Amino acid sequence: MKFGIVVFPGSNCDHDCYHVIRHVLGQEVDFIWHKTDKIGQYDCIILPGGFSYGDYLRPGAIAHFSPVMKQIKAYAEAGGLLLGICNGFQILLETGLLPGAMRDNAQLKFICDYVYISIANNNTPFTKQCSNNQVLRIPIAHMQGNYYADERTLAAMRDNGQIIFQYCDASGNINDDVNPNGSVGNIAGICNKQGNVLGMMPHPERCVEDIWGSADGRFIFDSIIRP
Amino acid sequence: MNNKEPKITPELIVQHGLSPEEYQTIVNILGRRPNYTELGIFSVMWSEHCSYKSSKAILKKLPTTGGCVVQGPGENAGIIDIGDGQVAVFKIESHNHPSFIEPHQGAATGVGGIMRDIFTMGARPIALMDSLRFGELNNPHNRYLFEHVISGIADYGNCMGVPTIGGEVYFDPTYSQNPLVNVFCLGIAKADRIFLGKAQGEGNPVIYAGSKTGRDGIHGATMASEEFDESSAERRPTVQVGDPFTEKRVLEACLELMRTDCLIGIQDMGAAGLTCSTAEMADRGDMGIEIDLSKVPQREKEMIPYEIMLSESQERMLLVAKKGREQEVFDIFNKWDLDCVEIGRVTNDERFKVFNNGKLEADIPVKALTNEAPLYTRVRNKPAYLDKLSDAKLPKEPVDYNKLLLDMLSRSSIASKEWVYRQYDHMVRTNTSLLPGAGASLIRIKGTKKALALSLDGNSRYCYLNPYIGGMLTVAEAARNLVCTGARPLAVTNCLNFGNPEKPEAMWQFEQAVLGMADACKYFGTPVTGGNVSFYNETSGEGIYPTPVIGMVGLLDDIGQTLTPWFKQTGDIIILLGKDSAKLGGSEYLKYLTGDILGILPDFSLEHEKNLHKFCLKSNEDGLLQSAYDLSEGGLGAALAECALINYNAGLGAHIGLDGTRADIALFNEAPGRILVTTRQDNLAGVERIAQEYNLPFKVLGNVISDKLLIDDILELPLSKLNQSWRGAIPALMQRK
């Protein structure tokens, strides 16, 4: 399987994704420079975490104007698998490929920690190796992960099964006490209607290797890679 | 001369921090009076911060060679060999003064500066740590400084994508008007791709890359070489503003450029900006340099040469490239949307020449700015307070041990620093093998089985009571932290935070602490590869406690053999290695009881410390240990609680007995050279044998149990309650208005 990782100025989880895909999972992978206006053939493209354009203005707001994004949009609209992690998720919201918006974390502080997320829909290319309500232990690291969408949008997303991950406790209970950033409905990740574009705040690439105490990120990558 | 430039008067010379004698030396060197630009150049290059004029002679006592050292002091950072064709590049630096004036930007630019020192040598930064000291958090201004220093570090490090994986934070009234912000960075490079800050090859182009130059930070180096007073807040404009997004691009562009063979030498523009980087590069190559300021990218209009030369605008690099390869350099920086222009060339006359629009604005022999800067042997006198110290009177034994332990765990210097490190991205780059809050930090080296263990330690209370022993202890504590992960200590960088060197008492403390560190580093075989001296940590005449901070790097050959501090399973035997002391001098417990730092230090022995290293490494190699943790502030009481609480979800506590000694002394004395280990029942004999082999006092304290901490019949506490005090203390303090 061939992955592409888009590199914006300020991306900083690009190398981590590359390491995991190439050296841990043994798949093909290229970096895609953000100024490219033509992209090759990929089975999955990742918009990695980081601080594209320094998060200036709003996270993802400027990256959305990078030349490569026109191609990325066309790729997604044609059904290509597109995964936005953390800043990548924020970019997907700014481009309108996913609904909703990000606000500052409720505590107004950057949070880096392990959290638990529950799988709300395993019927997507990104979660098909998981079971519904399965709990993953996975790191987050962000300042603006407080997801918001209005009630109508949320209802439509629920109906379409677009809510994919929700913050929960170790046993899978979803409540305010385990919501790290104030996200509406404890939302940690969502997909588009068609299911080929996923945005998530947690970092699956940070928990793929066994030495880290959690290798739950593998469920996401395995879902993408395995037929 | 430019009409905006003032006349050189005695007052102006004093304002530039130059003594009349120093000014006369300048006149002698030049054979004429300096102009305004030249005066500025001399003043920053001869400032304490850049010239180490008070400390150089004493620093020579530190061991700086041998073992794994590839590059010792004198370059942008130290380098050690870690095998497999790889080197580790690391350094620590202070940003105390700017952080007091503007905590967020002061701390942020400290992080930015130290990272440039690392990547300028060809290494990709992979870990940051910070040693921080503030006044007590019951004071709102200290809370403000603490909160914004942390956010500054977080903003810069997180955006750069370099994990902040550990460090230390302490609180004491001595730092109320003078917080300490010491930033450590480590990077990895290939042994055959190291770059130095050297200008070589006559006619080679001198290239400026990165941010444009503005008026920010002018005289930052001079500011760091003076005491503070009430008006210091007015100096906010001399603090630079950091832009981590630009630095991230500068980092990537530099590393990309270093994969070509266009580059001769490279150095970041840190303290004293363009002046220091050009002078030092020329000096190291024994060459001259000439630059034309009209070519320097400028952010503000009508800057005069003095301002351009002294600006400390951040995120700027100075490069010397091979002649004819300029375009390749420009192309790489332009790819990352950065300014990159040729501003001059290397000459062979060992002169430092600055032109502006064709007019010669400064012409100084290079060596006059570097090697020939004045050096002082400052007067040193033992401070009077040291002769008045006596053994602290034993306090009355407390009645309620439950309350005592909870109180101790919630003291800000002992309490969990989770509130701090949750704000740092400590996992990016996916190398962090020990999450923060577990003693030393550990990062794996991708593509190998190895990991580097890193520790940042200072103990200013001990250095205040006995700077020589304190200096040794600081090194010993850092080494102890490393061996508790199973790593072998390799080398050291140090950040020496002291008061005014023109005061004989402060200078005496400095010398004693350096001698102590030197003796310990020699004994452990851990040379000093560089570091930083920060003097003038005084506000309104009141100096801080002498605070040397040690950053130590160690190597763990097999990451699968990592030793961790937390309890592993019920039934494991808890053992204390090392000897208690009835002396409570300098302890947190005594401070808790009296509010003061006083008394006589407990005994200390380098030989014992080294035996502890051997014990830890040997018994870990033999697979005999379940956990290991160094005893430091708060002694055994704090260590037991932390071994239970670091991995709180495991729900493992301890049941121990203290056999007759007064429990408060047994629990809270801070005798150095002690570690707490656990072992499986069936390995107990093996552990004891190794301890005997190295002549280490060995005491079985009890067992690991579930859910609570139980000490004889004097203390019984559920982990939840301990956790609330330990993890909850700093968040609770920070919620105060």
B160 touching chain A per CB within 8 A: yes
Nearest CB partner across the interface for B422, out of A13, A51, A113? A113
Q: Where are the domains of chain B?
A: 563-737
Residue B2 has pLDDT above 60, yes or no: no
CATH number of the domain to which A49 belongs: 3.40.50.880
Contact residues, chain B, for A110 at CB < 8 Å: 154-155, 158, 422-425
Going by pLDDT thresholds of 50, 70 and 90, the confidence category of residue B438 is confident
- Contact criterion met (CB below 8 Å) for B376 and B390: no
High-pLDDT (> 90) share of chain A, %? 97
Going by pLDDT thresholds of 50, 70 and 90, the confidence category of residue B222 is low
Please give the Cα distance from B154 to B424 (Å, whole number): 5
B385 DSSP assignment:
H
Q: Report chain A's C-alpha Rg in angstroms.
A: 16
Residue B167 has pLDDT above 60, yes or no: yes
* Residue B428 to residue A12, Cβ atoms within 8 A: yes
B417 touching chain A per CB within 8 A: no
Contact residues, chain B, for A13 at CB < 8 Å: 161, 428
Mean pLDDT of B445-457: 96
Amino acid at A10: G
B158 touching chain A per CB within 8 A: yes
Going by pLDDT thresholds of 50, 70 and 90, the confidence category of residue B239 is confident
Task: Indicate the CATH number for domain B563-737.
Answer: 3.90.650.10
Name residues of chain A where pLDDT drops below 50: none
Please tell me the predicted confidence (pLDDT) of residue B235. Answer: 57
Mean pLDDT of B151-176: 97
Residue B325 has pLDDT above 80, yes or no: yes
Side-chain half-sphere of B471: how many Cα atoms within 13 Å? 24
- Contact criterion met (CB below 8 Å) for A165 and A119: yes
Mean pLDDT of B219-236: 61
* Residue A109 to residue B423, Cβ atoms within 8 A: yes
* Residue B424 to residue A112, Cβ atoms within 8 A: yes
Please give the Cα distance from B156 to B403 (Å, whole number): 40
* Residue A54 to residue B158, Cβ atoms within 8 A: no
Q: Is B249 helix (H, G, I), strand (E, B) or coil?
A: helix
Residue B131 has pLDDT above 60, yes or no: yes
Mean pLDDT of B695-706: 97
* Residue B248 to residue A205, Cβ atoms within 8 A: no
- Contact criterion met (CB below 8 Å) for B329 and B321: yes
Mean pLDDT of all residues in chain B?
94
Please tell me the predicted confidence (pLDDT) of residue A195. Answer: 97
High-pLDDT (> 70) share of chain B, %? 97
Identify the CA nearest to B457 among candidates B327, B371, B548: B548
Please tell me the predicted confidence (pLDDT) of residue B659. Answer: 79
Residues 6+ apart with CB under 8 A from B631: B576, B578, B638, B639, B670, B671, B674, B675, B676
ipTM exceeds 0.85: yes
Contact residues, chain A, for B245 at CB < 8 Å: 9-10, 51, 53-56
Please give the Cα distance from B706 to B173 (Å, whole number): 38
DSSP alpha helix (H) spans, B31-165: 36-45, 48-51, 56-59, 96-101, 103-119, 140-160
pLDDT tens sequence across B517-557: 999 999 999 999 999 999 999 977 888 999 999 999 999 99
Contact residues, chain A, for B159 at CB < 8 Å: 10, 12, 51, 54-55
Amino acid at A48: P
Number of domains in chain A: 1
Please give the Cα distance from B609 to B590 (Å, whole number): 24
Please tell me the predicted confidence (pLDDT) of residue B259. Answer: 96
The structure tokens listed for B212 are: 């444009």
pLDDT tens sequence across B31-76: 999 999 999 999 999 998 889 999 999 999 999 998 899 999 989 9
Nearest CB partner across the interface for B425, out of A19, A54, A141? A141
Instruction: Characterize the bridge pairing of strands B205-210 and B339-347.
Output: antiparallel
pLDDT tens sequence across B580-591: 998 888 999 999
Please give the Cα distance from B77 to B64 (Å, whole number): 13
In the β-sheet with B180-190, what is the strand arrangement from edge to edge?
B69-71, B78-83, B86-94, B180-190, B124-134, B164-171
* Residue A112 to residue B337, Cβ atoms within 8 A: no
Q: Is B176 helix (H, G, I), strand (E, B) or coil?
A: coil
Beta bridge partners of A140: A113
Residue B386 has pLDDT above 50, yes or no: yes
Interface test with B, best of A34, A90, A112 (most B CBs within 10 A): A112
Nearest CB partner across the interface for A211, out of B160, B161, B433? B433
B446 touching chain A per CB within 8 A: yes
Please tell me the predicted confidence (pLDDT) of residue B669. Answer: 94
Please tell me the predicted confidence (pLDDT) of residue B226. Answer: 66
Nearest CB partner across the interface for B159, out of A51, A112, A209? A51
B243 touching chain A per CB within 8 A: yes
B32 touching chain A per CB within 8 A: no
Please give the Cα distance from B463 to B455 (Å, whole number): 18
Nearest CB partner across the interface for B427, out of A53, A54, A141? A141
Task: List the domain range (segments joined by +) for residue A167.
Answer: 2-225
A20: nearest CA in chain B? B430
Check A13, A86, A130, A168 and give the catalytic one.
A86
Please tell me the predicted confidence (pLDDT) of residue B1. Answer: 43
In angstroms, what separates the C-alpha of B283 from chain A's closest C-alpha?
A: 35
In angstroms, what separates the C-alpha of A145 from chain B's closest C-alpha?
A: 14
